[in-house]
Every structure is written in structure tokens, then in C-alpha cells.
A and B are shown apart, each in its own frame.
Chain A
Amino acid sequence: DGGITQSPKYLFRKEGQNVTLSCEQNLNHDAMYWYRQDPGQGLRLIYYSQIVNDFQKGDIAEGYSVSREKKESFPLTVTSAQKNPTAFYLCATTPGTSVYEQYFGPGTRLTVT
């Protein structure tokens, strides 16, 4: 089955701890994205990567970091510098064709207390 896997579905952390969210895809898509979703605010782009070993900041990159060592994987680290980390995090991919429809994973809900 081709798809995007995000794990875990729910994640709980104490304030001050870094946490890494996993995103894996077997669609052979070139580009991968991380979004944050808060109630009533839609989707906000955190980071994105079009090729291995390269990534760009999105609109709200502060307090987050990413890596793209493999085409299939794009993990997101939420650092202790992120002031309001509790949110629903969505990973997405695009095949890199001219019509940039995105394919989304099921999301990870992070709660920091």
C-alpha cells in the first residue's frame, strides 16, 4: 500500500523537552512538507523540502528543525524554543509534477504540558 505514515498519532511531552515527529512516505514523491494546524487557523507551513539534503523554511519555522537525509523520510523536531507547541501536525507530499496537489498523512496531535 502506498501512502504517508505519521507516528505516533498522539504524543505527550513535558515543557522544555525536544520531540521528533516522524513522517515516512513510499509514494516516491519528491517534495515533502510540514504543516501545523490550530483550531480556526487553517494550515500554516513550517518547513518543506524538494530534494534530499535540502529544505526551506516556511511561514512559521521558528522553534522547529527538520532533516531530509532520505527521500522517504522528513522528520520534524519541535524544540523547547517553540513557545506554543501543542497542535496538530500534518505531513504532506507532492510528486513534483506541475500540478501541485498534495497528499497528506493522518497527522500527529502533540500535547505539551
Chain B
Amino acid sequence: GDSVTQMEGPVTLSEEAFLTINCTYTATGYPSLFWYVQYPGEGLQLLLKATKADDKGSNKGFEATYRKETTSFHLEKGSVQVSDSAVYFCALSDLVWDDKIIFGKGTRLHILP
């Protein structure tokens, strides 16, 4: 079945550091890919998305490129801020399965001032 694997956390960085959170997937169809963010005590919010190969999703300085050849969707940000501290989830929805979104286990990010 479809699955999402993302790097385990916690990831701890200093403010203004470069961020990469790795995400790879397996899917039988043509998935759309997502990154969600969850701040403490809250629900998840969609951060960015990409619907086909080579698409780049971007929002709030975060970017991720849909790489079909490596089945990856790594999240990057050039200069992180303390306010970026949260849990980040990679996810996919696959038209073959049509009803569900598959989430990764989440990566907790701590940014130190």
C-alpha cells in the first residue's frame, strides 16, 4: 500500500539556519503531495502542496519539489525563525485510493534563538 516516510525528529537548529526535512513516498497511482504544520495544542494546517511531478509548492518561505524519479518531497527553508518551531507532517493522497490521505509520522522542529 501507499506510505510516507519522513525523517525522525526532533530536529534542533539555531535561528537563521537552513532547514531540510526529508520525505519519501511509495504510491501505486499518481499522488498529490502535501506538507502540513502543527503548532502546539492545535490542529494541522496545510503548509504547501504539489499535484504533479516537478511541481514546486511554496509558502511562508518554505519550499518542496515533487521529485518522481526519487519519490521524494523534501521540505526546505533558507532561514528558519523561532516561530517555525512546530511538528511537520508529509502526506500524500493517491487517486487510486481516493478516500484517504496518508500521513507520515511527523518531524518535530525546535528552533533556538
User: A interface vs B, CB < 8 Å?
Assistant: 4, 6, 31, 40-43, 45, 48, 50, 56, 58, 90, 92, 94, 98-107, 109
Contact = CB atoms under 8 A, between A and B. Distances in A.
B95 interface: yes
Nearest to B9: A40
Interface residues of B, number: 22
A7 to B, nearest CB: 13
Most B Cβ at <10 Å: residue of A42, A48, A92, A98: A42
A101 B95 contact: no
A101 B43 contact: no
A109 to B, nearest CB: 8
Contacts of B51: 99
Given A90-B43, A99-B32, A101-B49, A43 B103 contact: yes
A25 to B, nearest CB: 12
